[in-house]
Amino acid sequence: MSVQNTAQDEHFRAGKALGLDHLKLGMWLFVGSEVMFFGGLIAAFLHYKVNTPSPVETALLDVTLVGINTFILLTSSFTVVLGLARAQNDDRAGLMRFLGLTALLGTVFLAGQVYEFVALYQEGVTLSSSVFGSSFFTLTGFHGLHVLIGVGWALATLAKAVRGGYSRDDHIGVEIFGLYWHFVDIVWIVLFTIIYLI
């Protein structure tokens, strides 16, 4: 009976009908819901930016610093892609190197954000200084939280690679992490544009 069941398991295997791995599909759906979550926070930011502008506080934003930070985060997306390519070539050492680099770049981005927040607080822009401050710190803070989770995820992926995980045939874990990390990056491009550039 159990032998038969094992043979039949082939028929029950998930993910064959759509030609898309079920883990990837699940991650895409989760990313879709995350888009809506950030959509809500972005709507709040834009609503207050239009209706209750704070030109003095907005002028205090350090576009150069955050521009460099943006570049760092974008680079980290590139390193994830390189890491995945290494995994697909069975080059585990290369994968580990690029995952480590990704986590490092993410951490540098977070450090830059903390530096920016501290500087703004010293200038008097706080969560309670105005609706601009409220929506600015909430929106960028929740993005920072996502980067923090992403750094943790990168390190967990790295730890699995160190223990001998991932290979040419098994790199879905890296891909799924990559999907999340690219999403966090793309959200930041949107945030950088609406907060700092327009």
Summarize as ranges the residues that interact with other proteins (CB under 8 A): 4-5, 8-9, 11-12, 14-18, 20, 22, 25-26, 29-30, 32-41, 43-44, 47-48, 51-52, 127-128, 130-131, 133-135, 137-138, 142
Whichever of 33 and 122 has its CB closer to other proteins, that residue is 33
Say which residues have a Cβ less than 8 Å from residue 158's Cβ, sequence separation at least 6: 96, 99, 100, 103
From the CB of 5, what's the least distance to other proteins, in Å? Answer: 7
> How far is Cα 157 from Cα 150, in angstroms, rounded to an integer?
10
Whichever of 107 and 126 has its CB closer to other proteins, that residue is 126
From the CB of 14, what's the least distance to other proteins, in Å? Answer: 5
Whichever of 23 and 108 has its CB closer to other proteins, that residue is 23
From the CB of 143, what's the least distance to other proteins, in Å? Answer: 12
Could you count the other beta carbons within 10 Å of the beta carbon of residue 102? 29
Tokens representing 34? 């995350």
Whichever of 92 and 160 has its CB closer to other proteins, that residue is 160
Using DSSP's 3-state secondary structure scheme, residue 34 falls into: helix
> How far is Cα 183 from Cα 79, in angstroms, rounded to an integer?
14
Using DSSP's 3-state secondary structure scheme, residue 91 falls into: coil
Using DSSP's 3-state secondary structure scheme, residue 52 falls into: coil
From the CB of 127, what's the least distance to other proteins, in Å? Answer: 5
